[in-house]
A and B are shown apart, each in its own frame.
Chain A
Amino acid sequence: MATDTKPKRGVGRALLAGVERIHETLDSYGLVPTVTNGIALLFVVWTLFPVYWMVSGSLRTRSDLLATPPKLVSTALTVGNYPELFAQRPAFYEFLFNSVVVTVGSTALAVLLGTAATYGFVNYEFPYDLGRFHLPFLVLTTRFLPPIVTVIPLYVIFDTANLLNTRLGLVLAYAAFNIPFVVWMLKGFFAELPDSIVEAAVLDGHTELGAFFKIVLPMVRPGLIAATIFTVINAWNELLFAVILTSNTEAQTLPVALATFKTAYAIQWELLTVAGTIAMAPVLLFAFLVREKLLRGFTMGAVR
């Protein structure tokens, strides 16, 4: 602990002093790296164990998975659960397909509109002095209400517009609630771009639109990737809207399907773990592929 930290009052101060004492004691035994690494390791286990349990569960038999005491490591692995899932629930393909369509569609829409909106907010003056309303903040206010509050009126609106139980409906709903995130994640990136870059591009022969696509977007790529991943994860995981706005395999997504494995009579654990693993895999793979860009995207806009 830094000794120049401002003294705090009461409990905070005592706590700080206690932590500093512990740190000093550990330091005198040369244990600081061991302890910090130990804490980090605990965190990793805490985060990854459920993932491990699910993935390994998908490769076990039901009895092996539910054995008492629990077996942390199984010796009898099988891939049989995977074909079993599709055999028992042929509709799983449809859920998967719906999820992919809704996620890709809503992400494309949210990122496209959000990026264009942010660029406008940062670079253009709005007519009638609309800028005084601090428009990006207004965009964010759409997320102030708990989703459960907005989903009821949305249901009524979708009912009237014939969007209930359609993939398009979910695409629109997800895009709408992801746009504020895209705007606020990209705002810092656009604000950092010097005006002269766009002006240089215009003088080099681009139209404003050309400069936006050829010069501006490549320059904010880390932010775009981060915003895309964030949107993908949001859309892929979303359950509440999907449960209420869809009613059958026409438009239901994976999270809705996963919920159906738990019925009043039983929970099909071995199939649920398979479904969960399949649901998790694409997002995990995507995030893994762009991990460096993702990290840059999350830190760049914020730090500067």
Chain B
Amino acid sequence: MVRVRYDDVTKRYGNEIGAKNIDITVEDGEFAVLLGPSGCGKTTTLRCLAGLTDPTEGEIRIDGTDITARHPKNRDIAMVFQELALYPHMGVAANIGYPLKVEGVDKSTRRERVEAVAETLDIGELLDRETDELSGGQRQRVAIGRAIIRRPSVFLMDEPLASLDAKLKVEMRNEIKKLQRELDITTLYVTHDQEEAMTLGDKLIVMNDGTVQQVGTPAEVYHDPANQFVAGFIGSPSMNFLRVRRKAPGSQRVVAADDATFALSVEGLPTAVDDTDPFVLGVRPQYFSVHQSPIDGAAKAEVTVTEPMGDEQLLTVRFDGDGREIAVRAPFDVSVTRGDAIWLGVSGERAYVFDVETGARIRQTELSTDTAVPTGSRP
């Protein structure tokens, strides 16, 4: 039973904030993914757990034991680095078996364990090779082998797939997931790739600017984002954000906030934005309804780019009189080309409302934005 707990961990580099007030828990055997753009503090957060970076404040506990001040070698943690960090002066078998050698495990036991791990990772025939003779995917496996051979209680990975090509990435992703399930080791995985995060993680920890924005299952962060950042970061192509206001207090119709250039009807907007104050309406590209003739409540837009993608197409469109472009995903049978007019409708259930200033989510049922604060973050 290995439970990892960050208790209000902050890391400062001089005046720079690396990570701030990190307060997260990773349950036993859970696959947690730290996700965010580069420089968001996800790697700092991971390194604090590994002991490679000392937190400025806060405590990190593994199974209730405070390990914040413990030397990395005594934390029973293994890590796969982005650069893999294989020892170039050792062969494959020596690399995988190295943690056991340091531990003082005798040669024959070491060989057995190395062979078993190599078997699991399907690199049994590579054991006598040098590391520089390996392909990217094989080196990856060796790095993972070196990390799991000690049977650590926590397994860390810092963008381990970043240097692989797209196809290999998907393959290794599946294998890492399978391996994690088999070994049942509590895992923290850092990535900036949201697709990787969604497919791998039991739990996503979305970070930005050194703080945790939201913690939840992949479905939760996708369908129920805590704020505008999470909504925009998760999903590809990104969610569209429109700065709008109600046409009149209580009206179901929204118009562009500044110049009323387009009008859309959106049902069930939160009561918090009942007035005509501006707010941000977020709609994912695939949640627009696309019509080729005028329809009540839909906004007219002009197609500027079409990108056919097989079953569907990605349209870049511009509302009449409005310079900003938005992305729309339409079925392949909507026949449009550049310059055509289309009408876009939005269903209230599929639209998200965010505060113009803070980006905080304004929910349907809530009267104020106070409780829309993401779990695990203290703004």
Contacts and interface: CB of A to CB of B under 8 A. Distances in A.
Interface in A170-220: 194, 196-197, 199-207, 210, 215, 218-219
Interface string A244-279: 000000000000000000000000000000000000
Contact of A205 (B51, B52, B73, B87): B73
A196 B98 contact: no
A215 B71 contact: no
B146 interface: yes
Contacts of A203: 50-52, 72-73, 77-79
B85 interface: yes
A207 B70 CA distance: 12
A207 B73 CA distance: 7
A199 B81 contact: yes
Interface in B145-171: 146, 150
Contacts of B83: 194, 196
Contacts of B180: none
Contacts of A199: 50, 52, 72, 79, 81, 85
A202 B102 CA distance: 10
Interface residues of A, number: 17
Interface string A218-237: 11010000000000000000
Interface in B33-92: 50-52, 71-73, 77-79, 81-85, 87-89
A196 B102 contact: no
B99 interface: yes
B103 interface: yes
Interface of B: 50-52, 71-73, 77-79, 81-85, 87-89, 98-99, 102-103, 146, 150
The 10 residue pairs across chains A and B that have the minimum distance between CB atoms:
A205-B102, A200-B85, A196-B85, A196-B81, A204-B99, A218-B89, A205-B73, A202-B72, A197-B85, A196-B83
11 contacts: A196-B83, A196-B84, A199-B50, A199-B52, A200-B81, A200-B146, A203-B73, A204-B146, A207-B71, A218-B89, A219-B88
Interface of A: 194, 196-197, 199-207, 210, 215, 218-219, 221
